[in-house]
Structures are given as C-alpha cells and as structure tokens.
Amino acid sequence: MRGGTVCFDTELGALTSCGVVVLCLPTPSGRDGAPDLASVTSVSRRITREIAGPVVLAVKSTVPPGSARTLQDSLGRGRIDVVSNPEFLREGRSVADFLRPERIVVGGADSAAVDAVTSLYRSVPAPIFRTDWASAELAKYACNSFLAVKASYTNELADLCSAVGADVTEVTAVMAADPRIGGAFLAPGPGWGGSCLPKDTCGMLDAGRRAGVVLDTVRAAVQSNARHRRRLVADIVRELTGEPAASLAGYRIGVLGLTFKAGTGDVRESPALAVVHELCVRGAVVTAYDPACGSGRASAVDAEGEFQVVDEPAAAVKSASAVVVLTEWLEFRTVDWRAAAREVQRPLVIDARNLLDPAALEACGFSYRGIGRP
C-alpha cells in the first residue's frame, strides 16, 4: 500500500483495466450439504457486464468439481476465461500461508488463461500444479476431507487407548516418526470444526452423491466426529456424577476455550461450543473464558444466552465442580493453577486437548483427566 501498488474500491467498475480478477467469495453449505454458489455466479456475471475487454476469472472459492465448467458455459467463451485457483490458507496463519504457500493449484481449459494466473505467483517459491478444472476443484475437497478423516481416526485411537490403558501421546509419537504418516492432525481433541472441514466434507459427500459414488470413509469421519463429541460430554458427566447420562443440575463447570482451535477468534462449527451447549442442556451452569472471545463478544458467541463469558481464566474456574479445557491456547499452561485449586469447588481438570502437564496439575492439588491417557 505504501508503494501505491494496492488500492481498495467498493465498485466493480474499478476493475475495468484488470486482466485477471480473483474471486474470493463465500460458498456456504446449504441444508442438503451442497455449497451455495450464488455469490460466485452473481459476481461473475456482474464483472462480465462491467469489463468490456478480455478477462480471466480466477476462482479461489471452494466449489465442487464441475463448477468452473458450468460457470464458463454460462458466461460464454472467447472474452471471459474461468480458471480454478483454490486457496489452502489456514485460519490463524493466513498471511504466512499466502506469502509462503506449500503448493499452488491452477486449473483451466485455456492454456493462456492458466498462464496468466500462474504468472501472478512468479515470485512465490512454491510448486505450481497446472491441471484441469475438475482436478483443481476436487483437490481442495480431497485435502480437507483427508484431514478430517485423519483427525477422526486420531480421536477414535484416543478412545481405544483409554480402553486398553495406553497413552495416545506415546502412540501418536511413534506414528508421527513414520514419514508416510506425518505428525499433523495426530492430536486428539473434542472433535474437528471451523469454517472449512465441516463445509468441505459436506461438499465432498454431495459431489459423490451427484456423481453416484459412495464415499464411505468421508461419511464415517463425519459420523465419528459427532459421536466423539457426544462421548466426551458423557465422559465429563460420568466424572462428575458417576453416570454418563445423569443430570448436571447444581454443577458449575469452568470452560477454557471456545474457538474451534487456538490462534483464531472463529467459533463457527466449534466443537468447544458444541460441548458447552450439551453441558448446558444437561443442566450445568457454565462459565467460559477464551482469549479471543471476551465478554464483549458474548452475544455473538452465545446467541441463546446459555452460559457466561468472562474475561479472565480465574473468573471461569471460580467455584467450578470441574475445569474443562476445550481449546489448545498455550496461555492455559501459565494459569496459576495452585491459586485456582483454592477457588474451585472440586479440584478436577478434564483436559480435552492434552494441553496441560498432568504432574504439574496434580502437584497443585488437581485430579487430572486427559484424552486417551491412563
């Protein structure tokens, strides 16, 4: 911006001199799981009306295979060329991922249009995959769906570890040493969520349904994720009452973490919120703290007013029958747990992220329960 190479405008007319227009538009899931492409379609049509000369539309939005071809057919051929250029940014690391991506995917039917989009990345040190429309579109779904499968597998592994007396952190350390597996998404938790994995697994399943292909593995990962959240809630209830289906009326629960992961303020499809909701439904009084969701965001985080959002971890754990860690914020490790032990009603920590040091918590007077740990 300082060099005058970036400017902002609210009118599409400002794009008249652009040879490439990048579309970064939302494609939310509909009730049937299919992505809503209305924004991509409507904006593309407006651009074709505003720009008289030839232009390449680079679609970064996550769309199902066949979308670029359909869009190209609706816009006509010759003056407008559609290219699929899916983004792979991670929430909390978007700027770093944009500047130093692990890979770049450019798919299209016209080689000159693909060249035009590829040239935008000439200064970026990353491998570029030139491919067709459908392959580029499906690659995004395939990546996120695989991560969802891996995360669900890890959570099921944690459940098995609990049942047989193994330590999931030890087991996954062995797995991560295998380069064919890698260490990413091998940390168990309350389930996966956010704005991408739930939407993209739904999109993948919808694409399979439309193509007549059964994607049992992806469907199983989605179902496993829902079961894992229910199992976590049952485990919390059992720790407090001795029965997995008992009422939590009269119990106060302090929750640490509301966002779907650390490093972001996003609570969309957050497994933490899903767990909190279930605890409230069972009658618990929940007080929650998240460094990215202070009391000023309470109405946005908890539209139904089910629980209280506070601005300090000490306020969340005060008088609690249990402290439940649901997001892996590193600052939770530096909580004054010794002081917290004096404020809680019952010194019990249920760490759904395996974030904290069990020995350190026990030295402060807490009973510690992790996920998949003896």
Cβ-count burial of 69 within 10 angstroms (0-12 exposed, 13-18 middle, 19+ buried)? middle
Question: What is the structure's pLDDT at 123?
Answer: 92
Strand 104-108 relative to strand 80-84: parallel, antiparallel, unpaired?
Answer: antiparallel
* Mean pLDDT of all residues in 353-374: 97
| 189 is known to lie in a ligand binding site | yes
Task: Sheet with 104-108: list strands edge to edge.
Answer: 20-23, 55-59, 80-84, 104-108, 128-131
Contact between 307 and 240 under an 8 Å Cβ cutoff? The reply is no
* Mean pLDDT of all residues in 114-142: 97
| 185 is known to lie in a ligand binding site | yes
Cβ-count burial of 155 within 10 angstroms (0-12 exposed, 13-18 middle, 19+ buried)? buried
Q: What is the DSSP letter of 73?
A: H
| 91 is known to lie in a ligand binding site | yes
Domains of the chain: 12-131 (3.40.50.720), 141-222 (1.10.1040.10), 229-369 (3.40.50.720)
> 118 pLDDT exceeds 90?
yes
pLDDT band at 4 (very low <50, low <70, confident <90, very high): low
| 150 is known to lie in a ligand binding site | no
Question: Using CA atoms, how far apart are residues 158 and 139, in angstroms rounded to an integer?
Answer: 29
Residue 58 φ/ψ, nearest 5 degrees: -95, 110
Question: What is the structure's pLDDT at 69?
Answer: 97
Q: What is the DSSP letter of 187?
A: S
pLDDT in tens, 257-267: 999 999 999 99
Strand spans (E) along 60-157: 80-84, 104-108, 128-131
Question: What is the structure's pLDDT at 3?
Answer: 64
pLDDT band at 107 (very low <50, low <70, confident <90, very high): very high
Question: Using CA atoms, how far apart are residues 12 and 47, in angstroms rounded to an integer?
Answer: 7
Question: What is the structure's pLDDT at 5?
Answer: 74
- Residue type at 329 in one-letter notation: W
> 304 pLDDT exceeds 80?
no
DSSP 293-311: S-GGGHHHH-TT--SEEES
Give ∠ CA 156-159-163 in degrees, rounded to 5.
Answer: 140
Question: Using CA atoms, how far apart are residues 190 and 274, in angstroms rounded to an integer?
Answer: 9
Give the C-alpha distances (Å, rounded to integers) separating 18 from 22, 23, 52, 164.
10, 13, 11, 61
Question: What is the structure's pLDDT at 271?
Answer: 97
Catalytic residue, chosen from 24, 143, 161, 196, is 196
| 146 is known to lie in a ligand binding site | no
| 90 is known to lie in a ligand binding site | yes
pLDDT band at 2 (very low <50, low <70, confident <90, very high): low
| 268 is known to lie in a ligand binding site | yes
> 367 pLDDT exceeds 80?
yes
> 302 pLDDT exceeds 70?
yes
Question: What is the structure's pLDDT at 249?
Answer: 97
> 303 pLDDT exceeds 80?
no
> 251 pLDDT exceeds 60?
yes
> 1 pLDDT exceeds 60?
no
pLDDT above 70: percentage of residues in the chain: 99
User: Closest by alpha carbon to 354, among 118, 213, 91, 155?
Assistant: 155
* Mean pLDDT of all residues in 101-106: 97
Question: What is the structure's pLDDT at 108?
Answer: 98
pLDDT band at 146 (very low <50, low <70, confident <90, very high): very high
User: Closest by alpha carbon to 85, among 20, 148, 14?
Assistant: 20
Annotation marks residue 161 as catalytic: no
* Mean pLDDT of all residues in 221-236: 98
| 199 is known to lie in a ligand binding site | yes
Mean pLDDT of the chain: 95
Rg value, the chain, Cα: 24
| 103 is known to lie in a ligand binding site | no
Question: Using CA atoms, how far apart are residues 351 and 270, in angstroms rounded to an integer?
Answer: 16
Give the C-alpha distances (Å, rounded to integers) separating 305 from 259, 282, 285.
17, 15, 11
Q: Which long-range contacts (CB under 8 A, 24 or more apart) does 247-250 make?
A: 247/282, 247/283, 248/279, 248/282, 248/283, 248/284, 249/283, 249/284, 250/283
pLDDT above 90: percentage of residues in the chain: 85
| 88 is known to lie in a ligand binding site | yes
- DSSP-based three-state secondary structure for 182: coil
Cβ-count burial of 212 within 10 angstroms (0-12 exposed, 13-18 middle, 19+ buried)? exposed
